[in-house]
Amino acid sequence: MQQYDVIIIGSGQAGNPLAMKMAKAGRKVALIEKRALGGRCVNDGCIPTKAMISSAKIAYLSKTSATVGIHNKETVIDMPAIKQRKDTIVERFNKGTKRNLARYKDKLDIIMGEATFTGKKELSVAMNDTGETIFLKAELIFINTGTKPLVPDIPGLATSTYLTATTLLELEEVPKRLLIIGAGYIALELGQLFARLGSDVHILEASPDFLDREDRDVANCLLNIMTQEGLHIQTGVHIEKVTQKEKESITLSYRKEKDKRTHTITGTHLLVAAGRVPQTASLKPAASGIKLDGKGYIKVNNRLETNVKGIYALGDVHGGKQFTHLAYNDFAIVYRNLIEGKRLSKRNRLEPYCVYTDPQMAQIGLSEDEAIAKGIPVDIAKLPMKIAARGITTGATQGMMKALVDPKSKKILGACIIAAEAGELISVIQMAMQGGLTAEDIRWSIFVHPSYAETFVTLFNDVL
């Protein structure tokens, strides 16, 4: 049994920086990874998808360039080249990850294999290369194993050649007709991506409401944008079975809500994007006494510690919003608490996110629905992006801005933006909220003209 000061299970966006910081602090660290260093974000999540989305955006601009006076005879989609560019970018990040970790090799052991708890703070690891099993233990253990695609229990699905958000990125041809089960953030990003490359995209969602976690005006705004671009989106769909007679012919049989008639739709490819589940089953956390919730996520307190003292869970594996930047903040909380003696918590932290559709959808803080449910009084500022000077000059007029303001203090309580570069714009709101600035402060600020950010002046004038 090998003794370490720290064991980190999972080389994601919390695990890697934590491993390096702990090693730098003089701790003997074991970093266990069963698949690829960098985790989902680097290998088949944020980085590769945004690389391919950028290719699709250029294809879209090429096809629609006549609207700004530029005429192209033909836009040629070279899917192998798009994939190669994506792979090159991923490789660049992989090399950077390995290079950074190697700087701490005197204190940091990288172990490629699958970890399983065998007792309290004890683990076995089935090694990828040799197949042998080694045993480790440590007083501090951090779990950063993330999630994997949920494959729903639909008759015929398991025997069909379906794709996931991971395997879809490996295609070297554009699907002629892409069927997608699920209409969440991942489904929308990938659906629009392939629609812009030439796929006929059909999205089927079980929930009766599109993006049911968002305010209705926000969800409907994005739905209209997606459908106007040619994506076919149905909600309230119950899929009864999947049938595949040949390689590129997959049929879904389904019923619509309150409709007893069975419908069918056939595509050349099927993407399953119906959600994600935590990677805890093979870890066997119960062997160490770690408690899980009903969905298999690891229970943690506000300092990310499990019910077992000295064992922490970071990132998607403990549930909540599943975004890379939140996993990184989890690392910051535990590292600064344990090494710097801070008393940081994830309670009440601002958790911004951005969906990389085009236009992007970004959100932070309180939504209108949440305010109503909690009985919090708010003033609501809202405007369409078609009045933004920068949007008009660039042709990016789709979307909206919406902000919630405290009626008395005028502090900003939340915002949602659908716009070009909404991910950047939401950071302006985040900084204002963190700094305690009011809607009035932003209303009377000087912004560069013409910029998307200056639209905040008009937005907040609505509640003053």
Which pTM does this prediction carry?
Answer: 0.95
Rounded CA separation 373/370 (Å): 5
Rounded CA separation 388/458 (Å): 9
Supply the pLDDT for residue 260.
82
Supply the pLDDT for residue 414.
98
Q: What are phi and psi of 229, to 5 degrees?
A: -80, -10
The residues that bridge with 113 in the sheet, in sequence order, are 127
Query: Are the C-beta atoms of 366 and 379 separated by less than 8 Å?
Result: no
Q: What are the pLDDT digits (tens) for 371-420?
A: 999 999 999 999 999 999 999 999 999 999 999 999 999 999 999 999 99
Query: Residues 279-292, buried b or exposed e (16+ Cβ, 10 A)?
Result: bbeebebeebebeb
Task: Give the residue numbers annotated as catalytic, written as ranges.
Answer: 449
Q: Is 243 helix (H, G, I), strand (E, B) or coil?
A: strand
The residues that bridge with 267 in the sheet, in sequence order, are 250
Segments in the chain below pLDDT 50 = none
Q: Which of 31, 120, 48, 127 is nearest to 82 (CA)?
A: 48
Give the start-end residues of each E strand in 218-294: 232-234, 237-246, 249-256, 262-267, 269-272, 276-278
Report all structural domains of the chain as residue ranges with CATH numbers, in order of start.
2-148+277-339 (3.50.50.60), 167-274 (3.50.50.60), 353-461 (3.30.390.30)
Query: Are the C-beta atoms of 276 and 322 separated by less than 8 Å?
Result: yes
Give the start-end residues of each E strand in 35-159: 108-119, 122-127, 133-143, 147-149
Q: How far is CA 34 from CA 275, 297, 330, in A?
A: 22, 19, 21
Q: What are phi and psi of 134, to 5 degrees?
A: -115, 165
Rounded CA separation 146/166 (Å): 14
Find all residues with CB under 8 Å of 255, minimum gap 6, and list them: 237, 238, 240, 261, 262, 263
Supply the pLDDT for residue 239.
97
